[in-house]
Chain A
Amino acid sequence: MTSPPQGAATPQEDSLDLAALLRESHALEVIEALDRELVGLAPVKTRIQEIAALLVVERARAQLGIAGDQPPSLHMSFTGNPGTGKTTVALRMAEILHHLGYVRKGHLVSVTRDDLVGQYIGHTAPKTREVIKRAMGGVLFIDEAYYLYKPENERDYGQESIEILLQVMENNRDDLVVILAGYKDRMDTFFRSNPGLSSRIAHHIDFPDYAPQELFAIAQIMLERMRYRLSGEASAALLEYIELRRGRPHFANARSIRNALDRARLRQAKRLFAAGGAGVSRDALMTIEAADIRASRLFHDAAAEGAA
């Protein structure tokens, strides 16, 4: 097969180079960055690659004049535990869809119930429309979407907002992409009570929890961005910390790790002051020692439990 230059083909030609089309869209760079910067999340990455492939094929079909009359539906739902990267991926998704030419502007409008649902009769519809108008040409990200529907209150205005969303998701498919996000179990209940919404969402993507090794890798990426590094013993201590923290209530995956690192930075600063603070080397300012991590309350609790 002779591939045409830059993948651009005149309508008369009968073959196209898909790889060149993908290169041309620059979406590959975003996907690669996603692969590099986000640890784990294999099912999510697979689905994003599938969507990217679909859109490239769709574009190729359009160039050959065999595009269908309906663009593919790309509304999505992200479910998963706290701190599994739902918002981060949504932000990247807007970028990818923009590069692939599915949305025109590629901005992300992130809203919660407060932004959509009004406080008195007749307030909800204009409020929801306002948000939808703002999101057009980009991605509308509704965080904790299950709050939109309150089954215990029949007169809750959330239902009205859902109905408007449904209508827009159906009619303005090429104007915006709606992404709903929330915790798995509550989203399941939400979708059960709103079957119309569930069936209009083509992609239900589940974000798995991170394995300890993945959390450690995330911690290293975070530290690199903060321009810190772990000493040898500190790495071991952090791994131990992750194991302990995972068993605790309110564990929020990557978010918990970030908080732990922030606290370790506090302790490092305190330690440097306690050591006199004069003549601190560049190395000392950048290194987090095992003691900074082992000072966590978690280790004391674990020790106390072991002793008891």
Chain B
Amino acid sequence: MTTHTGIRITQGQFSFLPDLTDAQIKAQIAYALKQGYALNIEYTDDPHPRNVYWEMFGMPMFDLKDPAGILMEVNNCRKTFPNHYVRMTGFDSSRGWETPRMSFIVNRPKHEPGFGLVREEGQGRSVRYTITSYAAQKPEGERY
């Protein structure tokens, strides 16, 4: 979640690295397919770390064998939402896991204003801290 030096949102895998190239994304997808994960693509314009409900782009891709098809869908999503956060999630359906095993951002807005720290006065002199996204103060669709 941190907003580090370049004010880039860091969520999921590889987010401290420069943006992955298509070839690198393809290699990650190939790995996920080899592990038997079902991949899906999600997007959002509200990247608050507690927002776990990103919108799904199309159906989860269960029965694909080759990364090229998934990359095609990633590029479709980027074209539709060029200024949203887009992430790939690999879901492991095997017994005992039944949870996303990998997740990484494949597209982000050009300008990311980041988060502000909010201090709330509590009872006595206690202070409660939270963060709020600058972009999410605008209505949906106008955020980035």
Q: Which residues of A contact B (CB under 8 A)?
A: 104-105, 107, 126, 130, 132-138, 172, 175-176
Contact = CB atoms under 8 A, between A and B. Distances in A.
B61 interface: yes
Contact of B65 (A126, A132, A137, A172): A137
Contact of B63 (A126, A132, A134, A175): A134
Contacts of A137: 65-69
A135 B64 CA distance: 8
A141 to B, nearest CB: 15
Contact of A104 (B58, B61, B66, B73): B66
A123 to B, nearest CB: 14
Nearest to B59: A130
Contacts of B73: 133
A209 to B, nearest CB: 35
B68 A134 contact: no
Contacts of A172: 68, 72
Size bin of chain B's contact surface: 10 to 19
Contacts of A175: 66, 68-69
A104 to B, nearest CB: 6
A140 to B, nearest CB: 11
**DSSP class of A's interface residues: helix, strand, loop or mixed?**
loop
B105 interface: no
B70 interface: yes
Interface string B25-68: 00000000000000000000000000000000011010111111
A104 B67 CA distance: 10
Contacts of B66: 104-105, 136-138, 175
Contact of B68 (A107, A126, A130, A136): A136
A134 B63 CA distance: 7
A104 B27 CA distance: 13
12 contacts: A104-B68, A105-B66, A130-B59, A132-B69, A133-B73, A134-B63, A136-B64, A136-B65, A136-B69, A138-B65, A172-B72, A176-B68
A133 B74 CA distance: 12
A242 to B, nearest CB: 41
Interface in B72-95: 72-73
A4 to B, nearest CB: 30
A172 B63 CA distance: 19
Nearest to A172: B68
B69 A107 contact: no
Contacts of B70: 133
Given A136-B66, A172-B72, 18 more contacts: A105-B65, A130-B59, A133-B70, A133-B73, A134-B63, A134-B65, A134-B69, A135-B69, A136-B64, A136-B68, A136-B69, A136-B72, A137-B65, A137-B66, A137-B67, A137-B68, A172-B68, A175-B68
Interface centre among B58, B67, B69, B73 (most CB of A within 10 A): B69
Contacts of A136: 64-66, 68-69, 72
